[in-house]
Amino acid sequence: MNYNHNFNYNYYNNQAMNIFQKNYEGGKIFWRGNATGAAMLFFLGGFYAFGIIGMIIMRLIGASTPGDFWMFQFLFMMFVMTLPFLLGPLIMREKLINLLPFNKVPLIFFIILVVMQLGVGYAGSFVSVFFNFIFESVTGVEPSAPGFSNIPGGLYGRIFYILTIAAAPALAEEFAFRGIILGALRKYGNMNAIVISSLLFGLMHGNMRQIPFTFIFGLAMGLATVLSNSLWPAIVAHFLNNFFVGMLGIASDEFGNMVMVPYVLFMLMMIVAGISALIYLMIKYWSWLKYQGALCYNHWGKRFALLMVNPCMLIAMIVLLTQAALSLL
């Protein structure tokens, strides 16, 4: 009789402790998601405020050349994509250095990761084209996207052009999305962190033409960051992707559309190599990826819901989705 009494007591005590641990961890996950949403809202506020103030300043100083425009865009990217996201670690009381992995990566593994990201990204660009074709066929609305046709002619202008569309996003966006956001969410499982950071990264671009591509590319860059525990592979892949686009624009200015054929062939070759690299990485590291987050008390689905369903994240998502919808008008 005493044995049964002790057994029942231990069982219910363990159940109560398990519920307490789940609820305690759930509160911490909820707060971390809320802090991430707050950082996104701070970024969106800074994006619009800096844009308005910056354009006023440019008019006052008489900046009017394409080179001046791209110099402003470069400064805009570096400030707006970095400073607002520092709010996240501050709210979470997390040291910034803990969220920014810069481990040393073996060269061969580094190359495999970069090839994987570029290949998956290029595959994502074709998915984006297909998605937008279907969307336009069904709705009759052609999604728009910011163009890069305003390419300056001089050396000064072209340097800032490449810095703005390649170097600045590679550094600033990776700092924000694969650094602070992914780093903050990884504590509660890598897969959720990769998906959520990629979703925010995609929606941040604000238009339906880019969102599918940037979401898929974000998944690849998030995976590379997690596997290497370093931001460098994602920074390099992001830079190369945007650099090739920028150089394609400059080459098209000089030689016309004839440069598109070798570029598309290059994309197709990279897709084959990148998907092959992805398959290799998934076979080798899938068990490890599944294990990440397994020690949490809450199921991955509950963790995902807690990270996404909180006041700041919901408001940020509404603003981002509204911004994407307005781009269709």
- Eight-class DSSP state of 299: -
Is 268 exposed, middle or buried (CB count within 10 Å of its CB: 0-12, 13-18, 19+)? middle
For residue 185, tell me if it sits in a domain. yes
Q: What are phi and psi of 219, to 5 degrees?
A: -60, -45
The string of pLDDT tens digits covering residues 229-250 is 999 999 999 999 999 998 888 8
As a whole number, mean pLDDT of residues 2-31 equals: 72
The string of pLDDT tens digits covering residues 26-55 is 999 999 999 999 999 999 998 888 778 777
> Does pLDDT of 200 surpass 80?
yes
For residue 244, tell me if it sits in a domain. yes
Q: For residue 121, give both structure tokens.
A: 């990204």
For residue 7, tell me if it sits in a domain. no
For residue 100, the enclosing domain spans 21-326
The string of pLDDT tens digits covering residues 314-328 is 999 999 999 998 888
For residue 13, tell me if it sits in a domain. no
For residue 114, tell me if it sits in a domain. yes
What's the alpha-carbon Rg for the chain, to the nearest Å?
22
Q: For residue 322, give both structure tokens.
A: 């509204």
For residue 3, tell me if it sits in a domain. no
For residue 1, tell me if it sits in a domain. no
pLDDT band at 251 (very low <50, low <70, confident <90, very high): confident
CA distance 57 to 72: 10
For residue 219, tell me if it sits in a domain. yes
CA distance 76 to 15: 53
Number of domains in the chain: 1
Q: Using an 8 Å Cβ cutoff, are 124 and 215 in contact?
A: yes
Q: Is 102 helix (H, G, I), strand (E, B) or coil?
A: strand
> Does pLDDT of 3 surpass 60?
no
Q: What is the pTM of this model?
A: 0.90
Dihedral, 260, 168, 237, 151 alpha carbons, nearest 10: 10
Query: How many other C-beta atoms can be found within 10 angstroms of the C-beta atom of residue 187?
Result: 18
CA distance 280 to 159: 37
The pLDDT value recorded for residue 177 is: 96
